Amino acid sequence: SIGESRLNEEEDEESASTNVANKSMKKEPKTVIEAFERDAKEIQKIWVIDPSLAPTDVSIGSTYTKLWNHEMWRNHMNINRYFRHLAYWPKSTIAKSIVPVTICVIAWSCFVRAIAYKYQLQLEIPFTCAILFGQAITLLLTLRTNQSLARVQEARTVTGKIVTQAREVAALSSCYLYPNDPNL
């Protein structure tokens, strides 16, 4: 039993040294391309994806998620695009989020009007209500403008990130590829 335990300990030491040797072999890539791929995978592991880049309320094929060229812009400027928008409007994600609220407001308005008609009530909206609604609409438009400015700022930030990533790729390729083939 003592001999078996010593034999097991020796086997454990051998397997541990073999594992260390295998790990060190795995760390040393055989070619420059393998080293480059390993470093690229390491960069991808630490890369954090911004969740705001995958919005859920964006229709497929929406105009602000496309990269435009002259042909696409010419087709977009065609007057027939309004008919296409009307045809696909019920399938849009914005319509799906707005329609239930709009139907509730219309139903409530019809109910109030029916009650007023039945009991012959005069419904008048004071001028202050119109002013308050005007202010609310102004505030919403201002917030919408701020949203578009925030999108422009986000686009500038993403563009900066793309430039930074391009520089990193250039630096990695100059470190790994240029020493082996200076003609690149």
pLDDT digits (tens, 9 = 90+) for 149-166: 888 888 889 999 999 998
CB count, 10 Å around CB of 124?
A: 7
What is the Cα–Cα distance from 35 to 40, expressed in whole angstroms? 9
For the segment 175-184, the average pLDDT, to the nearest whole number, is 73
64-80 pLDDT, tens digit per residue, is 566 778 888 888 788 88
Short-list 1, 79, 162, 145, CA closest to 170: 162
- The 8 Å CB, 24+ separation contacts for 41-46 are 43/168
14-29 pLDDT, tens digit per residue, is 554 454 444 444 566 6
Residue-wise DSSP of the chain: -HHHHHHHHHHHHHHHHHHHHHHHHHHS-SSHHHHHHHHHHHHHHHPPPPGGGS-SS--TT-GGGS---HHHHHHHTSTTHHHHHHHHGGGSHHHHHHHHHHHHHHHHHHHHHHHHHHTT------HHHHHHHHHHHHHHHHHHHHHHHHHHHHHHHHHHHHHHHHHHHHHHHHHHTTTT-TT-
**Can you give the pTM of this predicted structure?**
0.36
